[in-house]
A = this chain, B = another copy of it.
Amino acid sequence: MKIKKGSRVLLVGNKNYLVTVEKRQFSTEYGNFDLGELVGKSYGIGISTHMGKKFHAIGARTPDLLRKIKRMPQVIMKKDAGVIASYTGLNKEDFVVEAGTGSGALTIFLAGIVKKVVSYEKREEFQKVAKGNLEKCGIRNVRLKLGDVEEGIKEKDADVVVLDLGAPERAIPHARKALKPGGFLVVYSPVVEQVTRIRDVMEGFADIETVEIIKREWDVGNNKTRPRTRMLGHTAFLTFARKT
């Protein structure tokens, strides 16, 4: 695959830099590059700064992209996104419906895995941010829709529906209609009260389970191996259920 003008490329060396390829100088503490040189080259090519430091130009991966997007409050963290993927068995054949889009961070992760994502957002200013983020990341298999899933979901035969909403209980019956039999509903709930409310409207779902994913970061080595002092104590409860 060739690098094109406008491609998002990660320059990997003593440090990593995420750049958009265009005709311009790019300055780092290790010297300058002429980014235009990359156009037409293969991914993986080496490029040196004027100070002789070598970097490789590779296709940016999702965590690189996510580090650069414009973030709105309450982004879904990698620990939770990953478990959404593994609990639903997310794969490249899947069609996913998501609401709300937010800043699009989860959308970008899902889009890397699945065939197609439809993502609803009712707040126009959020959708605008998400749109910018998706473009910046070169994501093309997502359709952003402005709308409130509490009032209905037009899509059918979704493999997975992910809800991250203030009142998901109102959207769950619509989510059920949008799902294939055997498809997974995932609800992301920051507070316990929301979890108890949604469990009351789980008519027509089986295998319901609610989990919390807690990540502990470790400092390792130098005879000082220990969990890190500061820790993210909570993001959300994840509830999984299967349409019957």
Q: Which residues of A contact B (CB under 8 A)?
A: 10, 12-16, 44, 56, 58-59, 61-66, 78-79, 81-93, 109, 112-114, 157, 159, 180-182, 184, 190-193, 195-196, 199-200, 206-207, 209-218, 220-221, 223-235, 237, 239, 242-244
Known: A82-B87, A193-B223. A58 touches B181 (CB 8 A): yes
Q: Given that A79-B213, A221-B200, A233-B229 are known contacts, is A87 also in contact with B113, CB under 8 Å in the complex?
A: no
| Interface of chain A, main secondary structure | mixed
Q: List the B residue with the shortest CB-CB distance to A55.
A: B181
Nearest CB in chain B: distance from A213 CB, A = 6
Chain B residues closer than 8 Å to A65, beta-carbon distance: 89
Chain B residues positioned under 8 Å from A212 (CB to CB): 215-216, 218, 227
Taken together, the copies of this chain in the complex come to 4
Kindly provide the distance from the CB of A228 to the nearest chain B CB, expressed in whole angstroms. Answer: 5
Chain B residues in 8 Å Cβ range of A210: 217-218, 220
Q: With the chains together, A181 CA to B228 CA distance in Å? A: 29
